[in-house]
Structure 1
Amino acid sequence: MARYWQPNYGNIFANVGPLLGRVGIRPWLELDFKERFPESNLWVFSHWESFSQKVKAELSKIGINSIESEAELLHNFLQLFSICPVKGGKKGKAWRPSRPEILQSFLLHVQDMSAFPKELDRITKTALKYGSTVQSFPLLVGRTLTELRSFYVVIDDSPISVESVLRALEVTFKSYFALHCEYPLESRRQWTVLQKTLFQLDIPSDKVNPIANLPEVKRLIKILKY
């Protein structure tokens, strides 16, 4: 996981977090985010209904009308974005990730937890190939996206149990800031849109962030912002 430590509250986690073990990481992630961005701390729950209705309206324009769960909505959210090359990582290789590759970095779904190690290995090999790193991501387990039975946030290859799809999304998002990590290379556009709409979080670096200033990203932010 690529980390970008800065001299702020997050360093408390850097020093103490490893002593807690993986189970103890989650409270520190959330505490760090709450201290730094108190106004954005609970936006995902208070504004999910408004956000989801706007996403459904956009999906209906491209013929996607049957959305039965939060997981399905997030899964189809990616359909609002084009497929385009990305470039980053230590090797700086240009890469055109497929929709499945974008999805696995944004919201990984497996039918059974026994399939997770194989999927993680595939994700890791893809990241190594392009000089990137495996960042935090939500993991959903269940037969289908409407029949989920467990939810996790995967940090440094370790699944951390959470209570719901939205909690998995929320804790993953907060982990990027608490650990000073970049968004996953493949799904950087998607996380940037969520940051500025569902989480209502603007940060100074957005002004010079090329992803935040892409026409496609700016258009979706304008449409989906609360």
Structure 2
Amino acid sequence: MLEDNITSDSKHTISLYLIPSLVPPRGRTKVSGNKQWKPSITESRDGIFLHVKVPGDIERANKEFMYQRGLTVQPYLIIVGQSLSNVTSAYVVINNNLYNTVSVLDAVDFCFKAYHMLDAKYSYESHHIWYLIQWSLYSLYTKSDIKIPFIQDCLI
């Protein structure tokens, strides 16, 4: 049960953390040669945001995050706080640039808009979550959207 004194940023972070569990990734993609990759719920969550406990951990965690990816790294969030129920700040990372935001929702909004302004593709492990956000929260449909039947079924 959530504490009464939990901040709205923490509540939003916990909600964002839970979405990949409620709507897990499906499907596979080729990564190198003929190898196939089916993202896990954790990988889906990590494709949206990275959690660090203190601001001093941002640079190290950001580098580790980028090197672990065999695919291109797309815009993502960094959430700072001792735990998800104690969030102190939120950032958006775009091409090694770190942008401080006023809240977790502002970070999600900034990141979403960055994808569209830069004409970037959503990272594979979390693209279904970004399309869910795009279609349900922004009511935005484009010609380049990929078809994800299980996400489209959620919106009916």
> Same fold, TM exceeding 0.5?
yes
Per-residue CA distance 1:14-40 (angstroms, 9 max, x = gap): xxxxxxxxxxxxxxxxxxxxxxxxxxx
SS in 2 for 1:122: helix
Tell me, yes or no, if the aligned pair for 2:25 and 2:44 is still in contact at 8 Å.
no
Q: Does 1:156 align with 2:95?
A: yes
Q: Which residue of 1 aligns with 2:122?
A: 183
Report the CA distance between 1:205 and its aligned residue. Answer: 2.5
Give identity over the alignment, percent.
25
Q: Which residue of 2 aligns with 1:138?
A: 77
Q: Which residue of 2 aligns with 1:213?
A: 148
Q: Which residue of 1 aligns with 2:135?
A: 196
Instruction: Tell me the distance in 2 between the aligned counterparts of 1:161 and 1:92.
Output: 39
Which structure shows the higher helix fraction? 1
The alignment covers a number of residue pairs equal to 150
Q: Which residue of 2 aligns with 1:96?
A: 38
SS in 2 for 1:181: coil
Show the 5 A alignment for 1:1-226: 69-87=11-29, 93-128=35-70, 132-206=71-145, 209=146, 212-214=147-149, 216-222=150-156
Which structure shows the higher strand fraction? 2
Per-residue CA distance 1:86-118 (angstroms, 9 max, x = gap): 315686742122222211111221111222233
* Higher RCO structure, 1 or 2 (CA under 8 Å, sep 6+): 1
Q: Is the deviation greater in 104-113 or in 75-84?
A: 75-84
Over 3 Å counting, the alpha-carbon distance change for 1:176 and 1:205 in structure 2 is same
Per-residue CA distance 1:148-192 (angstroms, 9 max, x = gap): 111111111221101001000000000111111000111011101
Q: Normalization by structure 1: what TM-score?
A: 0.60
Over 3 Å counting, the alpha-carbon distance change for 1:188 and 1:148 in structure 2 is same
Q: Is the deviation greater in 74-83 or in 188-197?
A: 74-83
Tell me, yes or no, if the aligned pair for 1:86 and 1:186 is still in contact at 8 Å.
no
One-letter amino acid matched to 1:217: I
Over 3 Å counting, the alpha-carbon distance change for 1:188 and 1:169 in structure 2 is same
Runs of 5+ unmatched residues, structure 1: 1-64
Larger of the two Rg values belongs to structure: 1
Over 3 Å counting, the alpha-carbon distance change for 1:122 and 1:170 in structure 2 is same
SS in 2 for 1:186: helix
Over 3 Å counting, the alpha-carbon distance change for 1:160 and 1:88 in structure 2 is farther
One-letter amino acid matched to 1:159: L
Instruction: Tell me the distance in 1 between the aligned counterparts of 2:139 and 2:103.
Output: 21
Runs of 5+ unmatched residues, structure 2: none
Tell me, yes or no, if the aligned pair for 2:47 and 2:126 is still in contact at 8 Å.
yes
SS in 2 for 1:187: helix
Q: Normalization by structure 2: what TM-score?
A: 0.84
